[in-house]
Chain A
Amino acid sequence: MIEIKNIYKSFEQKEVLRNISKVFNEGETNLIIGRSGSGKTVLLKSIVGLHEIDSGQILYDNRDFTSMNQKLRKKLRQEIGMVFQGGALFDSMTVEENVRFPLDMFSSLSTVEKQKQVDFCLERVNILDANKLSPSEISGGMKKRVAIARAIVMNPKYLFCDEPNSGLDPETSLVIDELIHSITVDLQITTIINTHDMNSVMEIGDNILFISEGEMCWEGNRKEILFSDNQKLQEFVFANKQYQKIRDDKIEGK
């Protein structure tokens, strides 16, 4: 479980996040949603410590991340997996080397055991046959899968995904969503996903935080989101008319 309390973050004079609090549960896909530029990525990067927050508290299973020194943070980060928007795979390594890298760096497993774990993760994301290719030789969807495999190879307790569906076609997006959701449930990890893709929200949104202009506007789940009377949320959700229709149909009992 990850809990954030009263997070404030600004860059120079510009306040980007204001007073955001939320509990993200384990075994659930927790989504942070909002328009582009609303502060989602800053919030996610603040939670993992890539940005230092101005004030507030971040608790990983009641361990206060904000008051930890660099040494303790480094140790905690070995329990974190993260999937970046562009995949952030290492260009100089093959798919397999990318996934094995955290094991090489931090685990004391034998070569055979490492290979077993790498193969297991690549198989989990259904990309084992591309293990010898370099990142430049695979598609965007495959890169995301490799990034997921690398993120879970150390059996993390916390998984962060920054817009995992960006730049992917709807079918591949669905595959990635289902993959992240099943990993979250199977491994009982705390997953936080940044997205502005409403399809993802409706597919896997167990616990949703909607932020707008750096402020927390609404929280709930995918069943409640269509029926919220929050003006800003409605503008975001019903920008796609399809969801307006789904809501109207549900209200009319169709």
Chain B
Amino acid sequence: MNIFNQTGRYFALLLRVFSKPEKHSLYVRQTFNEIENLGVNSVGIVAVISIFMGGIMTLQVAYNMTNPLLPNYIIGLGNRDTLILEFSSTILGLIMAGKIGSNITSEIGSMKVTEQIDSLEIMGVNSAGYLILPKIIAVVLMFPLLYILSVFFGIIGGMIVGPAVGAVSLTDYLNGIQYAFNPYYVTFSIIKCLVFGFLIASVSAFFGYTVEGGAFDVGTASTRAVVNTNILILVWDLILTQLLL
């Protein structure tokens, strides 16, 4: 029964989030702040993770390709398609649920337990809309951009590591990443990113907004937010893959 109760409260909160803003200019300003805080500030970690992800994926494909009849450019192709289809969207989504999601839950949760949210309500501000809507817009807008960056850095990672350890030549790798490119894969993954971005921001905000108690409860809520967001990302990954591919 608890899951139905939680789901009902989540959608009730979303109704408040998407109600008419009191002052558009303040919401826009807040959205730009969140784009910087949640999106731009994540570029570094996305770049690092993606370079390693691409490098490791290149090595894995190379070491598992024991059949001499398979051309070497498959290594670059395998890295590219894995990044485009799954790693730079889903794996990055899971990582971002940890970074951005816990940030959102702990920020809103702390505001809740220190009565800052009550303070907004007393002023006549729709606290759910003012605090959550800019975060949702920021993450939904930024996630596809982070995805594109991730693909780019992942391919660069493979390009550095593959030739460096002798797993694949630079020419074969470059041939592979250009071979049989299907643009729909990118479209499909960008759709996934929009959904994942919405899930990360809204589910994490829900757990923060509904927290009660003190600092310990904010920590617990952050953990629950990350776990639930991760599960939802995987479920939606399955659904979207079945529907769109």
Contact = CB atoms under 8 A, between A and B. Distances in A.
Given A104-B23, A105-B22, A105-B23, A88 B124 contact: no
Contacts of A80: 122, 124
Contact of A104 (B26, B115, B126): B26
Contacts, number: 54
A106 B115 contact: no
A77 B118 contact: no
16 contacts: A45-B118, A74-B126, A77-B122, A81-B122, A82-B122, A84-B118, A86-B114, A88-B118, A88-B119, A89-B116, A90-B116, A105-B123, A106-B23, A106-B123, A106-B124, A160-B122
Interface string A76-114: 111011101110111100000000011011100000000
Nearest to B21: A105
Interface residues of A, number: 25
Given A74-B124, A105-B124, 4 more contacts: A45-B118, A50-B118, A86-B114, A160-B122
Interface of A: 45, 48, 50, 74-78, 80-82, 84-86, 88-91, 101-102, 104-106, 154, 160
Interface in B19-49: 22-23, 26
Interface residues of B, number: 16
Nearest to A107: B23
Nearest to B126: A74
Q: Is the interface of A mostly helix, strand, loop or mixed?
A: mixed
A74 B124 CA distance: 5
B23 A82 contact: no
Nearest to A79: B124
B125 to A, nearest CB: 6
Contacts of B23: 104-106
* Most A Cβ at <10 Å: residue of B23, B111, B114, B122: B122
A85 B115 CA distance: 9
A26 B100 CA distance: 47
A104 B23 CA distance: 8
Contact of B122 (A48, A75, A89): A48
Nearest 9 Cβ contacts at the A-B interface: A77-B124, A88-B119, A88-B115, A74-B124, A84-B115, A82-B122, A78-B124, A88-B116, A102-B123
A131 B161 CA distance: 53
Contacts of A89: 116
B26 A50 contact: no
